[in-house]
Amino acid sequence: MKLLTSSFIAAVLLTTSGCATQPKNIPPAEVSSVRYRLFSCADLHNELNLAIKERDSYIQEQLNDRSRDIKSNTFFMPGSGAMNTDHEHEVAESKGKVIAIERELEDRCSTAPN
């Protein structure tokens, strides 16, 4: 039983080594909200919706990259997934952009009474 468990763990490690990072494990990049200072509140809401769609698209691409890498590692050679490209940078940037827009919305467009 220990041999089976050890073999399973080794197989999982081999198929996931060199894989694209899970999107949930990619931290957002630092994006300044200064570029959104001249946007109206309505424009900020529109920009936020676009940024969320962009972020979600990059997250899906990263998930697809990860799936492809796991298949490469499983069916070709362990570690071969590391040769493939991924969208980690785009995921980080788009996460940061969403946060920057949300921060600007919160600072300037709050509907709560003061």
Tell me the C-alpha to C-alpha distance, in Å, between residue 73 and each of 47, 58, 78, 82. Answer: 39, 22, 4, 9
Query: Could you tell me if residue 85 is inside a domain?
Result: yes
The answer to whether 73 and 14 have CB atoms below 8 angstroms apart is yes
Range of the domain at 88: 2-108
Query: For the residues 80-108, what does the mean pLDDT come to?
Result: 85
pLDDT of residue 24: 93
Coil/strand/helix, residue 76: coil
pTM value is: 0.70
In a domain, 114, yes or no: no
CA distance 41 to 44: 5
- Split into its structural domains, the chain has a count of 1
Residue 113 lies in a domain: no
CA triple 77-86-89, angle to 5 deg: 145
Residue type, 103: R
Residue 86 lies in a domain: yes
Digit-coded pLDDT (tens) for 22-76: 889 999 999 999 999 999 999 999 999 999 999 999 999 998 888 887 776 666 5
19 located within any domain: yes
Domain assignment present for residue 89? The answer is yes
| Sequence-ordered list of residues with C-beta below 8 angstroms from that of 97, at least 6 positions apart, any chain | 31, 51, 54, 55
